[in-house]
Amino acid sequence: MSMKGSHWYQKNLIANQYDAKRFSKGGVLIDTQEKQIITNFIDSIDGKKILDLACGTARFSLLLADLGADVVALDISKPMLAIGKTKAQNSTSSDNMTFLRGSAGDLPFADSSFDIVLAMRFFHLTTVPMYFFLEMLRVSREKIIFDTFNKYSVRSFYNWALPMNSILHSKSHISQLLSCMDVTIEESHQDFIFPYGFYRNLPLSLSKPIRNIDSSVVSTSFGQSISSVSYWSISL
């Protein structure tokens, strides 16, 4: 299945700029918050066998390996994987990580190979999230974690102008699709009203007050309904 991003992230330039563009300056606040959400979703990480699908530059693979998980990091892009591998080599947890090039739609693993399957910043690349969700379901035993960019959010006003204009999914549509399967939405976390770009383009000192406003708005029921990102934890 062809999807957005399969080619985009194959470019050396895009891969080389990925971490700095997204997670430096105020982007650190997004990265920190997402890592907190993911670790909150998993009860005890130590010893878990985890597949980090579309791992990119191994942002989550490294975190989970550092916390004692046995991680397989899979991505379709050679340059993204190469950056992830270099980061792993410079970490103390490289023994807990295996990197693999492959496609999320056709995973080279037997059924129920992993305790947890994680796919972060991936579902906005496809119009058919359930196609990939079914493959994740096949190889997972315990839990699936992913995020979606929301249709009914400020993101819909500027999404078209972004170079990698993302596919936005409606929360209720994702919930309906999940409820058609024999899985339980264990938790879902809504976050970020303001565009990511606000954070990424401002120094940390200026984006901190923005984040404080964002956090207080998103904690209200109105804020929840217009959040731009949903993080989903699905138990099997």
Ligand X SMILES: C[S@@+](CC[C@H](N)C(=O)[O-])C[C@H]1O[C@@H](n2cnc3c(N)ncnc32)[C@H](O)[C@@H]1O
Q: Does 3 bind ligand X (CB under 6 A)?
A: yes
CB of 83 to ligand X, least distance (A): 10
Q: Which stretch binds ligand X (CB under 6 A): 62-70, 88-96, 117-125, 182-190?
A: 117-125
Instruction: Indicate the residue among 16 and 103 with the shorter CB distance to ligand X.
Output: 103
Nearest by Cα to 6 from 148, 105, 133? 105
Is-contact 132 122, C-beta < 8 A? yes
CB of 153 to ligand X, least distance (A): 18
Q: Does 125 bind ligand X (CB under 6 A)?
A: yes
Nearest by Cα to 233 from 184, 179, 171? 184
CB of 103 to ligand X, least distance (A): 4
Q: Does 93 bind ligand X (CB under 6 A)?
A: no
Q: Number of helices (H) and strands (E), helices first, in the chain?
A: 10, 7
Nearest by Cα to 198 from 207, 188, 189? 207
Q: Does 136 bind ligand X (CB under 6 A)?
A: no
Give the DSSP H or E segment for 205: helix 204-218
Instruction: Indicate the residue among 56 and 227 with the shorter CB distance to ligand X.
Output: 56
Instruction: Indicate the residue among 14 and 212 with the shorter CB distance to ligand X.
Output: 14
x/- contact string, 24-63, with ligand X (CB under 6 A)? ------------------------------xxx--x----
What's the token pair of residue 219?
Answer: 């904690």
Q: Which residues pair with 231 in a beta bridge?
A: 147, 189
Instruction: Indicate the residue among 73 and 178 with the shorter CB distance to ligand X.
Output: 73
Among 42, 65, 76, 178, interactor with ligand X by CB under 6 A: 76
Query: What does the alpha-carbon distance between residue 98 and residue 224 come to, in Å, rounded to a whole number?
Result: 37
Task: Give the sheet arrangement for strand 229-235, strand by strand.
Answer: 97-101, 70-75, 49-53, 114-119, 140-149, 229-235, 184-191
Instruction: Indicate the residue among 5 and 26 with the shorter CB distance to ligand X.
Output: 5
Regarding beta strands 184-191 and 229-235, do their DSSP bridges make them parallel or antiparallel, or are they unpaired?
antiparallel
Q: Does 166 bind ligand X (CB under 6 A)?
A: no
Query: What does the alpha-carbon distance between residue 45 and residue 40 come to, in Å, rounded to a whole number?
Result: 10
Instruction: Indicate the residue among 26 and 56 with the shorter CB distance to ligand X.
Output: 56
Q: Using CB under 6 A, list all residues that contact ligand X.
A: 3, 5-6, 9, 54-56, 59, 75-77, 80, 103-105, 120-122, 125
